[in-house]
Amino acid sequence: MADLASLRAVVSGRVHGVFFRAFVENRAGELNLTGYVVNLPDGRVEVKAEGERPRLEKLVGSLKVGPPAARVEKVAVKWGDYRGLFQGFDVRY
């Protein structure tokens, strides 16, 4: 089994109103990750996720691209230890 890890990613650019959260929720589901995605008041999107590190790395790759209507300018990622904090992957409001 691959190493387990967690991450917090903050995505900047045109990421509100372009189905970015739904895109992340779908991708995280495909990768069998847990956590959440939420719009931040300053126009960025925050993602917290846990799972196998190679799958998390794939998620980061997807965050850098985003859905078709998005324009991602920056993805800041902070890695951490797996803590088992989440049961599924949710969109938070």
Task: Domain ranges for the chain, please list them.
Answer: 4-82
Tokens (6 digits) for 6 = 């967690």
Q: What is the pLDDT of residues 2-32, one digit of tens each?
A: 899 999 999 999 999 999 999 999 999 999 9
Over residues 30-80, the pLDDT tens digits come to 999 999 999 999 999 999 999 999 999 999 999 999 999 999 999 999 999
Query: Which of 21, 27, 44, 55 is an active site residue?
Result: 21
Q: Out of 3.40.1190.20, 3.40.50.1950, 3.30.300.30, 3.30.70.100, which CATH number does the structure's domain 4-82 have?
A: 3.30.70.100
Secondary structure E strands in the chain: 4-14, 34-39, 45-52, 71-81, 89-92
Query: Which amino acid is present at 30?
Result: E
This prediction's pTM: 0.96
The amino acid present at 12, given as its one-letter code, is: S
Question: Pairing mode, if any, of strands 71-81 and 45-52?
Answer: unpaired
Catalytic pick among 8, 14, 26, 39: 39
For residue 90, pLDDT beyond 90: yes
Q: Is 27 among the catalytic positions?
A: no
14 is catalytic: no
For residue 2, what pLDDT is reported?
80
